[in-house]
Amino acid sequence: MAEKYVGQRVKRTEDPRLIQGLGHYVDDIKLADMLHVAFLRSMYAHARITSIDTSEALHAPGVVAVYTGQDVSSKIGQVPCGAALPDLKVPDHRVLATDKVYFVGHPIAAVVATDRYAARDAIDLIIVDYEELPAVIDVEGAASNSTVIHEHFGDNIAYKLTAGEGDIEAALASADHVVKQRLVHQRLAPIAMEPRGVLARYLPGEKELTLWSSTQIPHLMRTQVAIMLGIPENKLRVIAPEVGGGFGSKLNVYAEEALLGWIAMQLARPVKWIETRRENIQATIHGRGQVGYIEIGCKNDGTITGLRYNVFADMGAYHQLLTPAIPTLTGLMLSGCYKIPAIQMNTTAVFTNKMATDAYRGAGRPEATHVIERAMDMVAAKLKMDPVEVRRRNFPTPEEFPFKTATGLFYDSGNYVGALDKALEMADYSKLRKDQAAARKDGKIIGVGVSTYVEICAIGPSAATPAGGWESATVRVEPTGKVTVLTGASPHGQGQETSFAQIAADALGVDLNDIAVVHGDTAIVQYGIGTFGSRATAVGGTALVLALEELTKKATRFAAHLLEAEPESLQFEDGKFSTDGKSVSIQEVALAAHLARNIPADMDPGLSATRFFEPKNFTFPFGTHIVVSEIDRDTGDVKLTKYVAVDDCGKVINPMLVEGQIHGGIVQSIGQALYEELVYDDQGQLVTGTLMDYAVPKAAMIPWLELDRTETPSPVNPLGVKGVGEAGTIGATPAIVNSIVDALSPFGITHLDMPLRPELLWKIVNNAG
Amino acid sequence: MKKAISVTVNGVVHHQDVEPRLLLVHLLRDVLNLTGTHIGCETSICGACTVIIDGQAVKSCTILAVQADGASVTTIEGLGTEANLHPVQEGFWEHHGLQCGYCTPGMIMAGAQLLDRISSPTADQIRHGLEGNLCRCTGYQNIVEAIQYAASKAK
């Protein structure tokens, strides 16, 4: 196969519609007779509902129906939790609150009206009497809090889990030094720019329900919503139209998705709900939310002997799809890119009166990377060694792969020194250190931070995932020679309509523009798993490669028949099968296969292939990020004056798309490191409930990002790709925080918790406590 | 109590009777079916709903339709066509200035209006000029390059 497109900076085929505003997100789809839904949500974090009066709302202009928890709780099944852990407590999670509300934003009632203004107006006419209860907010205190959120559980502990291998006690006892640190991973809001939205249509004659939802997992959602509604799965069609970003927040099955379907069935009219940003921050999953205690042992030469991480993980009030599983990903990745003989993670997962946490870009791995990368810097500070040197001393060599960690993983391939050295050279690290020393003499507050990270991608083998870790692909060459690719992945900004077309175009020797990549419609596309966990190319792309191979084999046999030759004698190049001066194009073969007048007797007509790829292992991308920061003494403001990132995501299909993923990920990390934090007050009020308070980074806050790559192919899949969607959010935060702690080391600072806002830094610099 | 207004959108005059509280963005999206203008927040922070009104970049989610009475509005649908893209649209395509595409129409409108004010902006001027527009996917770097491309192309 000639690589004409793969590896090239091919412009996206998605873009023409999007730059003209001609894409169709959920709210852009309108159906005749469509009604609009608005939700009444709890204003309290924890309260008993003593009464709900909807009578006035029901009579408001334009209102068609009002539903409360009493109306639906026996009709619609639980909001699903897909994670399975020993002794996991799973609260009964109904689509609308019944007797109690558990977090600010908890949906209580749904109003259906003829337009969105009328629906929203009627919300204010519903009268709810609450008996307010004390709220459980503090993550560390939740386990012993006398207020129990789900009373029948007896306490607020969702589960406890000890993971890791090696004798941690002996490992820490054998260390020359044990460095300890408490560390907070603040709650974050994913903030996809398109909020969630659902449009539901029920056809009573056909008994068919269609849900258009802004989701990353149309097939998984179909299965779960069919179960929730008690309808046959083959009578439910889920369509993920244009989806305006997800970052894990749409890797879920939400109450609103099932409820809208149910309402459409009740009323036999299409119903639409579009989340407001306020609802999005209150009631779409949150990310991170861990408070942990690190103990890391080291020898005087910098060799790490062991790592223990005791962590309180904030589940929120309920489990969403993967909530309890997220901290387990932290546990898997605690070894970072280092040889650590003993690792132990003790998790206490707790319920609090907040929205559920779940998979936000990185999903447990940014926490792990932050733990180990902060720990490596603290070890370096303790030993008065260069942080780069401490890292280098503990790397496995490229020859040690597959590399087994004390967390039970086998890293597929890696060259950590290679990425580190390249980044050091790009940043001119030794000069940076000299410049820093000189600047300090001039009274400047300058720091240099390094992070060498590894992450786990291409999720993943089915045995390690709740719902199947494989992916699917179908390739068809239509009678006219146009190629259709159906992928079970569900891209929402990643650009797989382009990158998968690149793969198919090279394999079949056809023009890129002759390929249509179709996804996100369960009535058209064979079952698939979806797009998350940096898996679409490594798993879905591989399924595509397998399907292309099978299709090419079929086409070869058709071609051989047409050319009256043996299949083995045929050459396939640039879309042409040839032998002995005779040739036939794949387009001609496709037509012949469909006309079926002259095909081998033992072959079915048509030219298509469907394959499912089950990966044998995860992939492990890695890299080095280096940051220089400068703190303004007068304002406490941080300027990132240099940002160098060298990432290795294996082979690359489209470098432009890879860079885009890295850029976006780093900037979300800058958000976490410096600005973003979901703040609940001690009564459980969400005080960062709009984009005026929740500080998503703007263009002027971001430095120029200098990127480069090393390329260590993954042996796990034939493409050699690893995945890149989450690398930026995993690798960048510790580099930024390390640079600022480094800048403030003359002030006696050894650790700071995110976000590192100007106020915090100004107080340190100006000794104002 | 509806109010009669007359708004020119992408060169077409529309006479509409609207509720006084109807937001301009809902007039564009729900009444005129111009769904390229998106809604990403309700606090005038994200800029997904940015349109150009009489030469100014305006967030159409925080202006009432009645306030646009008599005005001339350009939305993303009126900026260019596939055969004749506006230089900023072309820049976004050339430089991978978009991923999910949701902030893109607002970002392009803000970028186009920025170039109307400053024909050759520095990277810093572009970044500050886009302070009213949030993107969660791209990290902004390629958007800066897209607008620089458009600036050089327009010369």
Same structural domain for residues B70 and B98?
no
% of chain A residues with pLDDT over 70: 99
Q: What is the pLDDT of residue A768?
A: 67
As a whole number of angstroms, the distance between CA A215 and CA B29 comes to 22
Q: Do A276 and B42 touch (CB under 8 A)?
A: yes
Which helix (DSSP H) or strand (DSSP E) does residue A753 occupy?
none
Beta-strand pair B12-18/A582-585: unpaired
Q: Do A25 and B102 touch (CB under 8 A)?
A: yes
Q: How many domains does chain B have?
A: 2
**Domain end call among B54, B77, B100:** B77
pLDDT digits (tens, 9 = 90+) for A328-384: 999 999 999 999 999 999 999 999 999 999 999 999 999 999 999 999 999 999 999
Q: Is residue B106 part of a domain?
A: yes
Measured between CA atoms, how close is A361 to chain B, in angstroms?
11
Domain of B33, CATH number, reads: 3.10.20.30
Among A627, A704, A700, A694, residue whose Cα is nearest residue A659: A704
Q: Are A244 and B100 in contact (CB under 8 A)?
A: yes
Instruction: Please report the beta strands in A317-341, taking only residues with DSSP state E, as ranges in sequence order.
Output: none
Per the DSSP assignment, residues forming a β-bridge with A26 are none
The neighbour count for residue B123, using CB atoms within 10 Å, is: 14
Q: What is the pLDDT of residue B154?
A: 76
Q: Are B26 and B65 in contact (CB under 8 A)?
A: yes
Mean pLDDT of all residues in chain A? Answer: 97
pLDDT digits (tens, 9 = 90+) for A58-93: 999 999 999 999 999 999 999 999 999 999 999 999
**Domain end call among B50, B77, B104:** B77
Question: Can you give the three-state secondary structure of B26-65, one letter per residue?
Answer: HHHHHHCCCCCCCCCCCCCCCCCCEEEECCEEEECCCCEH
For residues A415-421, average pLDDT: 98
Cβ neighbours of A119 in B, within 8 Å: none
Q: Do A660 and B21 touch (CB under 8 A)?
A: no
* Residue A686, CB-side half-sphere exposure with 13 Å CA sphere: 35
Q: What is the pLDDT of residue A467?
A: 83
pLDDT digits (tens, 9 = 90+) for A473-496: 999 999 999 999 999 999 999 999
pLDDT confidence tier of residue A668, bands split at 50, 70 and 90: very high
| Domain with B115 in it | 87-154
As a whole number of angstroms, the distance between CA A54 and CA A127 comes to 7
As a whole number of angstroms, the distance between CA A2 and CA A506 comes to 6
Two tokens, residue A275: 């989340």
Same structural domain for residues B37 and B100?
no
Q: Is residue B42 part of a domain?
A: yes
State yes or no: pLDDT of A3 exceeds 90.
no
Residue identified by tokens 């299409």 is A270
Q: Do A27 and B34 touch (CB under 8 A)?
A: no
Q: What is the pLDDT of residue B1?
A: 86
Same structural domain for residues B34 and B56?
yes
Same structural domain for residues B101 and B45?
no
A748 Rama sector, left if φ>0, alpha if ψ -120 to 50, beta otherwise: left
Q: Is residue B129 part of a domain?
A: yes
Same structural domain for residues B51 and B12?
yes
Per the DSSP assignment, residues forming a β-bridge with A565 are none
State yes or no: pLDDT of A769 exceeds 80.
no
Provide φ and ψ at A535, rounded to 5°. -115, -15
For residues A403-420, average pLDDT: 97
Q: Is residue B72 part of a domain?
A: yes
Q: Is A667 on the interface with B (CB under 8 A)?
A: yes
Measured between CA atoms, how close is B129 to chain A, in angstroms?
9
Burial class (CB in 10 A: 0-12, 13-18, 19+), A339: middle
Among A287, A325, A315, A285, residue whose Cα is nearest residue A155: A315
Measured between CA atoms, how close is A117 to chain B, in angstroms?
9
For residues A578-607, average pLDDT: 97
Among A484, A476, A537, residue whose Cα is nearest residue A515: A484
Helix (H, G, I), strand (E, B) or coil at A64: strand
The neighbour count for residue A391, using CB atoms within 10 Å, is: 28
As a whole number of angstroms, the distance between CA B41 and CA A123 comes to 19
As a whole number of angstroms, the distance between CA A39 and CA A283 comes to 11
As a whole number of angstroms, the distance between CA A367 and CA A328 comes to 11
As a whole number of angstroms, the distance between CA A763 and CA A766 comes to 5
State yes or no: pLDDT of A635 exceeds 60.
yes
pLDDT digits (tens, 9 = 90+) for A699-715: 999 999 999 999 999 99
Q: Is residue B55 part of a domain?
A: yes
As a whole number of angstroms, the distance between CA A684 and CA A145 comes to 15
Q: Are A104 and A44 in contact (CB under 8 A)?
A: yes
State yes or no: pLDDT of A541 exceeds 60.
yes
Same structural domain for residues B73 and B8?
yes
Cβ neighbours of B51 in A, within 8 Å: none
Q: Do B38 and A194 touch (CB under 8 A)?
A: yes
**Domain end call among B46, B77, B108:** B77
Provide φ and ψ at A617, rounded to 5°. -155, 165
Q: Is residue B82 part of a domain?
A: no
> Which residue in chain A is spatially nearest to B41 when comparing CA positions?
A277
As a whole number of angstroms, the distance between CA A488 and CA A529 comes to 6
Instruction: Please report the beta strands in A322-467, taking only residues with DSSP state E, as ranges in sequence order.
Output: 342-351, 403-404, 410-411, 445-454
Same structural domain for residues B20 and B62?
yes
Same structural domain for residues B65 and B129?
no
Among A254, A38, A199, residue whose Cα is nearest residue A126: A38
Q: Are A286 and A189 in contact (CB under 8 A)?
A: yes
Measured between CA atoms, how close is B142 to chain A, in angstroms?
8
State yes or no: pLDDT of A534 exceeds 70.
yes
State yes or no: pLDDT of A731 exceeds 80.
yes
Same structural domain for residues B35 and B99?
no
As a whole number of angstroms, the distance between CA B7 and CA B21 comes to 16
Same structural domain for residues B140 and B94?
yes
For residues A26-49, average pLDDT: 98
Q: Is A693 on the interface with B (CB under 8 A)?
A: no
Among A464, A180, A184, residue whose Cα is nearest residue A314: A184
Q: Do B93 and A12 touch (CB under 8 A)?
A: yes
Measured between CA atoms, how close is A188 to chain B, in angstroms?
13
Domain of B126, CATH number, reads: 1.10.150.120
For residues A443-451, average pLDDT: 98
Burial class (CB in 10 A: 0-12, 13-18, 19+), A466: middle
pLDDT digits (tens, 9 = 90+) for A597-626: 999 999 999 999 999 999 999 999 999 999
pLDDT confidence tier of residue A751, bands split at 50, 70 and 90: very high
> Which residue in chain A is spatially nearest to B92 when comparing CA positions?
A19
As a whole number of angstroms, the distance between CA A244 and CA A491 comes to 10
Q: Do B134 and A28 touch (CB under 8 A)?
A: no
Measured between CA atoms, how close is A58 to chain B, in angstroms?
22
State yes or no: pLDDT of A1 exceeds 70.
no
- Could you read off the pLDDT tens digit of each residue along chain B, which spans 155 residues? 899 999 999 999 999 999 999 999 999 999 999 999 999 998 999 999 999 999 999 999 999 999 999 999 999 999 999 999 999 999 999 999 999 999 999 999 999 999 999 999 999 999 999 999 999 999 999 999 999 999 999 77
Cis ω for the linkage preceding A460 (within 30 of 0): yes
Q: Please give the full DSSP string across A468-487, using - where no structure is assigned.
A: ---EEEEEEE-TTS-EEEEE
Dihedral over Cα of A584, A587, A590, A595: its sign: negative
pLDDT confidence tier of residue A466, bands split at 50, 70 and 90: confident
Provide φ and ψ at B13, rounded to 5°. -85, 130
Measured between CA atoms, how close is B70 to chain A, in angstroms?
24
Q: Please give the full DSSP string across A168-215, using - where no structure is assigned.
A: HHHHHHT-SEEEEEEEEE--B----SS--EEEEEEETTTTEEEEEE--
Q: Is B19 on the interface with A (CB under 8 A)?
A: yes
pLDDT digits (tens, 9 = 90+) for A140-165: 999 999 999 999 999 999 999 999 99
Contacts of A638 (CB under 8 A, 6+ apart): A629, A630, A631, A632, A674, A740, A756, A758, A761
pLDDT confidence tier of residue A217, bands split at 50, 70 and 90: very high
Q: What is the pLDDT of residue A2?
A: 65
% of chain A residues with pLDDT over 90: 98
Q: Please report the residues numbered 49 through 108 in chain B whose beta carbons come closer than 8 angstroms to any beta carbon of chain A.
A: 75-77, 79-82, 85, 89, 92-94, 96, 98-105, 108
> Which residue in chain B is spatially nearest to A728 when comparing CA positions?
B139
Same structural domain for residues B97 and B128?
yes
| Domains parsed from chain A with CATH numbers | 15-19+470-613 (3.30.365.10), 31-133+193-245+250-283 (3.90.1170.50), 287-398+406-460+617-765 (3.30.365.10)
Q: Do A20 and B89 touch (CB under 8 A)?
A: yes
Give Cα A660 to chain centroid, integer Å: 16
The neighbour count for residue A43, using CB atoms within 10 Å, is: 15
Q: Do B96 and A12 touch (CB under 8 A)?
A: yes
Same structural domain for residues B7 and B36?
yes
For residues A554-581, average pLDDT: 97
Query: Which of B61, B137, B138 best tests the A interface by mutation, with the highest count of A CBs <10 A?
Result: B137
Contacts of A318 (CB under 8 A, 6+ apart): A79, A91, A93, A102, A356
Number of A to B CB contacts under 8 A, please give it: 176
> Which residue in chain B is spatially nearest to A28 when comparing CA positions?
B35
Q: What is the pLDDT of residue A460?
A: 80
Cβ neighbours of A195 in B, within 8 Å: 40
Q: Are A439 and A433 in contact (CB under 8 A)?
A: no
Query: Which of A12, A18, A188, A676 best tests the B interface by mutation, with the highest count of B CBs <10 A?
Result: A18
Q: Please report the residues numbered 283 through 302 in chain A whose beta carbons come closer than 8 angstroms to any beta carbon of chain B.
A: none
Residue identified by tokens 């889920």 is A238
Q: Are A270 and A34 in contact (CB under 8 A)?
A: yes
Per the DSSP assignment, residues forming a β-bridge with A627 are A449, A643
State yes or no: pLDDT of A256 exceeds 90.
yes
ipTM of the complex: 0.99
